[in-house]
Amino acid sequence: MTVLLTGGTGYIGSHTATALSEAGHEVILLDNFCNSHRAILERLEKIVGKSVPCIEGDVRDTALVKRTLQEYGVEVVIHLAGLKAVGESVKTPLNYYENNVHGTLSLLRAMDEADVNNMIFSSSATVYGDPQYLPIDEDHPLAPTNPYGRTKLYIEQILEDHVRANDNIKVVNLRYFNPVGSHSSALLGEDPRGIPNNLMPFMARVASGELKELSVFGDDYPTMDGTGVRDYIHVVDLAEGHVAALEFLPRSTGFETFNLGTGSGFSVLQVIQSYEVACGKKIPYQIVKRRPGDIASCYTDPNKANAVLKWKANRSLSEMCLSSWDFQRRLN
C-alpha cells in the first residue's frame, strides 16, 4: 500500500517507515522538522536501500497535505505528527491544542478532499490517566491528567465521530505504552533535543558520561521495589505493530482501538540494572522525590492486539537497553 507518515522523520515515524518499507509498502514522509533532523533521510535510505520521499511541511497546511495525498496516490495515512512533552504541554497548552488537535482537523479535511479514507493514529496510554485497575485493557476509563493527554483523547473522539458519520472511513487507533530502544543498525534512535525527560534517553546520556547522574523519582510507590513500573516496548516491535495495523485495516469495520505494549511492567531499578549490563558500567543514580503527576504502575493487557492484529511485542528489556546503548555510542 502507499502510506503517508505525518511526523515520519521522528523517533517512532522513522522506525515505522523502515518496517513498512521492509514489508513491501511505499512510504512518503511529511514533517515540519520541529523535533527531528533532515539527516534521518540519509540514514533511512541506507537502511531501506532506496530514497524515501519526504515533504517538508506542516499538517496544518491543508492544501499542501491534499496535494501530497493526490500526487503520490496515498491510500493510508499514519498520523504521528504532534508535540509530545507532558511538562511543556502544561506550560503552553494552546500550542498543544493548536498543533495536535487543529493539526488533525486540517489533515482530516485534506484527506476528505483527496478521498483518502484510512488512517492509523498515534495515541498514547496517557489517555487512561491514573490506572483504576491493572493490566489496562482498551475498555479502561479514559481520564488524562495533562493537556498533552487531553489532546490525544479529543483527537480520538473527533476520529470516532468522523467514522460514525462516514461509512467509508476507517481508523485504527493505537495507544502506545513506553517506546524505547533503537533500530539494529544504530542509525535510528531516540535523540531528544536538550535534557531528556524520559527515563531511557536520560540513562543513555548518563551512561555516555554526558550527564552526571540519574534521578530516580521516588522509591515509596506500592511496587516490587518502590520505584515506578512501566510497560517498556521496543520501538521496532512498535513499528511492526503499525505494519500489523495496516494489514488489519481492510478487515476493520470502522473505529478500532488497540493498546500496544508487552504486558510486562519493569521498575526503574530493574531498567537501571539491565542498562548497566548493556553498557558494561555502573549508572550513578540518586533517589529523589516523586515527580509530580507520576503514577505508580502502568502496563497493558496486550490480548486484543495479540489476537486481532496477530502481532506481539517480543523483544526483551535487555534488547531494548542494548539497542539504546548502541545508538547512544554511535552519537558520541
Contacting residues toward ligand UDP, per CB under 6 A: 178, 197-199, 202, 214-217, 228, 230, 268, 291, 294
The reply to whether 84 sits near ligand NAD by the rule CB under 6 A is: yes
Q: Return phi, psi of residue 18, to 5°.
A: -65, -50
Q: Return phi, psi of residue 325, to 5°.
A: -70, -40
**Alpha-carbon span 318 to 240, nearest angstrom:** 19
Q: Return phi, psi of residue 90, to 5°.
A: -70, -35
**Alpha-carbon span 321 to 97, nearest angstrom:** 33
Residue type, 40: I
Give which of 203, 201, 221 is closest to 298, Cα–Cα: 221
One of 148, 232, 275, 299 is an active-site residue; which one? 148
Strands 26-31 and 232-234: unpaired
Binding flags for ligand NAD, 40-79, as an x/- string (CB under 6 A): ------------------xxx-------------------
**Alpha-carbon span 181 to 271, nearest angstrom:** 12
Residue number with CB closer to ligand UDP (41 or 86):
86
Strand partners, 324: none
Residue number with CB closer to ligand UDP (50 or 289):
289
Strand partners, 212: none
Select from ligand UDP, ligand NAD, none the partner in contact with residue 263, using the beta carbon and a kind-dependent cut-off of 5 to 8 Å.
none
In the complex, minimum distance from the CB of residue 282 to ligand NAD, in angstroms, rounded to a whole number: 26
Whether the Cβ atoms of residue 172 and residue 120 lie closer than 8 Å to each other: yes
The reply to whether 12 sits near ligand NAD by the rule CB under 6 A is: yes
Q: What is the DSSP letter of 219?
A: S
Considering only 22, 26, 33, 208, the residue that binds ligand NAD (CB under 6 A) is 33
Binding flags for ligand NAD, 154-193, as an x/- string (CB under 6 A): ----------------------x--x--------------
The reply to whether 326 sits near ligand NAD by the rule CB under 6 A is: no
**Alpha-carbon span 190 to 94, nearest angstrom:** 26
Number of chain positions touching ligand NAD (CB under 6 A): 27
Considering only 18, 32, 104, 324, the residue that binds ligand NAD (CB under 6 A) is 32
Select from ligand UDP, ligand NAD, none the partner in contact with residue 291, using the beta carbon and a kind-dependent cut-off of 5 to 8 Å.
ligand UDP
Give which of 123, 163, 151 is closest to 300, Cα–Cα: 123
Residue number with CB closer to ligand UDP (30 or 199):
199
Whether the Cβ atoms of residue 144 and residue 127 lie closer than 8 Å to each other: yes
| 148 is annotated as an active-site residue | yes
Residue number with CB closer to ligand UDP (255 or 275):
275
In the complex, minimum distance from the CB of residue 281 to ligand UDP, in angstroms, rounded to a whole number: 18
Residues that bind ligand NAD (CB under 6 A): 6-7, 9-13, 31-36, 58-60, 80-84, 99, 103, 122, 124, 176, 179
